[in-house]
């Protein structure tokens, strides 16, 4: 069909697609028929979803929906321009102030997505005379930012402080050390205190991508830094997303006033991209306040209980559950075709969990990336356990 529609398509396009198909690596879009909840409607069929990043169940929260309706009436739906032209509204300004107060930073800058925030910060701070030193399993956006910056990218062994120090020793002063706070595919956490110590010793900037930690971890949901009892002075740049535990969309960089001024002048995805919806900025402020409330504490407690319950139930299975205490609970499968078959068997039992395959994860490390939410009931988790047991049957 593709050849018929585009007769002049280069051969390598079709060859690349065929190679991925043969290796069971083709990806497809799934169409959700309803709001983002723990119980999904896909192609007219009900499923319990265990692959969303809506860790606290806020994406369909009644308070946030009510807040959004009010914000749309006041601000409309689009910003119409970049922050530096005429797209920065009082809703954006208030959200920046709310996040800064929540996390203890002087300055917050909003971006349209986490990928854009990382791209903006790393490309602005990287340079051919300075290195970017990063964890081997850092998110793709951090890797791409380093490549686009013309910096030399040095990657240390995953969560290996000694490996990191060896690279910092031979890197130029003023290099950028970057890591995920919670790793999106493994669910484990970075040794932030030790990395911050190295960054200080070797006069490097330290940046943490805490997309999967903020909202879920630490006092008031302040994330990986709070869990490690660290402050803004130890992590000069913090990236956070709004589309995961916060339940909305967009992202931000939290930093100092001086660094914020630098990024305003040199972070191209900030300068040349239309600002996030002002209505979404307004509702995200409501989410930030909710996270600091008693309800936020309750949601984090329910999520922690679900994680503990799932891991306890999994002890009886001959499956390799990776070492994670976060909402991300990957089951290592290895072979991509086996991961796909297991995912399909889960669907037959009413459980939706996508198989994660290369290049998202290294070759030979395909997995079922189970993600838990405060919205899941213990009965939902029991259904997942039953489906996993069914997936092991040789049918």
Q: How far apart are CA 258 and CA 254, in angstroms?
A: 12
Same domain, 90 and 41: no
Same domain, 155 and 216: yes
CATH of the domain at 277: 3.40.640.10
Same domain, 36 and 67: no
CATH of the domain at 359: 3.90.1150.10
- What is the domain extent for residue 199? 62-291
- How would you list the strands of the sheet with 355-356, edge to edge? 320-321, 328-334, 366-371, 355-356
- Annotated binding residues for pyridoxal 5'-phosphate, as ranges? 114-115, 184, 212, 241
Q: Last residue of some domain: 276, 291, 306? A: 291
Residue 16 lies in a domain: no
Catalytic residue among 244, 249, 373, 376: 244
Q: Last residue of some domain: 291, 314, 348? A: 291
**Residue ranges of the chain with pLDDT lower than 70?**
1-7, 394-395
Q: How many domains is the chain partitioned into structurally?
A: 2
Same domain, 176 and 101: yes
Number of Cβ atoms within 10 Å of the Cβ of 28: 6
Same domain, 286 and 304: no
Same domain, 126 and 247: yes
Residue in the structure block whose two tokens are 């959700």: 32
The pLDDT score that the predictor gives to residue 6 is 56
Question: Is the backbone of residue 378 left (phi > 0), alpha (psi -120 to 50) or beta?
Answer: alpha
The pLDDT score that the predictor gives to residue 7 is 64
The H-or-E segment that residue 333 falls in is strand 328-334
Measured in degrees and rounded to the nearest 5, phi and psi for residue 92 equal: -65, -45
Residue 1 lies in a domain: no
Same domain, 253 and 376: no
Residue 184 a catalytic site member: yes
Same domain, 338 and 235: no
Q: How far apart are CA 271 and CA 230, in angstroms?
A: 30
Same domain, 198 and 336: no
Residue 99 lies in a domain: yes
For residues 81 and 304, the answer to whether their CB atoms sit within 8 Å is no
Residue 92 lies in a domain: yes
- Annotated binding residues for substrate, as ranges? 27, 139, 360
Residue 384 lies in a domain: yes
Residue 112 lies in a domain: yes
Q: Last residue of some domain: 291, 314, 344? A: 291
Catalytic residue among 61, 92, 212, 376: 212
The pLDDT score that the predictor gives to residue 11 is 84
Residue 257 a catalytic site member: no
Task: Give the three-class secondary structure for 11.
Answer: helix
Same domain, 113 and 94: yes
Q: How far apart are CA 234 and CA 21, in angstroms?
A: 46
Same domain, 264 and 131: yes
Residue 212 a catalytic site member: yes
Same domain, 195 and 331: no
The pLDDT score that the predictor gives to residue 4 is 45
* Residues forming a β-bridge with 320: 332
- Annotated binding residues, as ranges? 27, 114-115, 139, 184, 212, 241, 360
The H-or-E segment that residue 375 falls in is none
The pLDDT score that the predictor gives to residue 189 is 97
Residue 118 lies in a domain: yes
The pLDDT score that the predictor gives to residue 395 is 45
Catalytic residue among 141, 184, 204, 282: 184
């Amino acid at each position: 069909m593709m050849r018929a529609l585009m007769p002049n398509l280069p051969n390598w396009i079709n060859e690349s697609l065929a190679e991925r198909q043969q290796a069971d690596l083709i990806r497809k879009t799934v169409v959700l028929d309803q709001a983002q909840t723990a119980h999904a409607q896909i192609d007219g069929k009900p499923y319990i979803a265990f692959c969303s990043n809506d860790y606290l169940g806020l994406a369909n929260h009644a308070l946030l929906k009510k807040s959004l309706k009010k914000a749309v009436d006041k601000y409309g739906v689009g910003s119409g321009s970049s922050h530096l032209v005429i797209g920065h509204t009082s809703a954006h300004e208030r959200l920046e102030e709310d996040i800064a107060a929540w996390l203890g930073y002087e300055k917050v800058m909003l971006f349209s997505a986490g990928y854009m925030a990382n791209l903006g910060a790393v490309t602005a701070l990287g340079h051919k005379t300075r290195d970017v030193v990063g964890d081997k399993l850092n998110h793709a956006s951090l890797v791409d930012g380093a490549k686009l910056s013309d910096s030399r990218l040095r990657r240390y062994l995953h969560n290996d402080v000694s490996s990191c120090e060896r690279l910092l020793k031979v890197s130029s002063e003023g290099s950028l050390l970057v890591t995920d706070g919670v790793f999106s595919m493994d669910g484990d956490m970075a040794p932030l205190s030790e990395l911050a110590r190295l960054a200080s010793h070797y006069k490097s900037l330290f940046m943490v991508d805490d997309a999967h930690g903020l909202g879920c971890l630490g006092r008031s949901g302040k994330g990986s830094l709070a869990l490690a009892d660290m402050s803004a002075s130890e992590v000069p740049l913090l990236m956070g997303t709004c589309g995961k535990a916060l339940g909305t969309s967009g992202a931000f960089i939290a930093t100092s006033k001086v660094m914020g001024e630098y990024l305003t002048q040199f972070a191209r995805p900030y300068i040349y991209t239309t600002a996030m919806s002002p209505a979404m900025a307004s509702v995200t402020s409501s989410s930030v306040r909710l996270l600091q409330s008693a309800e936020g504490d309750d949601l984090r407690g329910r999520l922690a209980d679900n994680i503990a319950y799932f891991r306890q139930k999994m002890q009886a299975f001959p499956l390799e559950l990776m070492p994670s205490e976060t909402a991300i609970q990957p089951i290592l499968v290895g072979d991509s075709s086996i991961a796909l078959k297991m995912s399909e068997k889960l669907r037959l039992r009413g459980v939706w969990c996508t198989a994660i395959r290369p290049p998202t994860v290294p070759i030979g490390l395909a997995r079922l990336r189970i993600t838990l939410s405060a919205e899941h009931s213990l009965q939902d988790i029991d259904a997942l356990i039953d489906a996993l047991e069914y997936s092991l049957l040789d049918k």
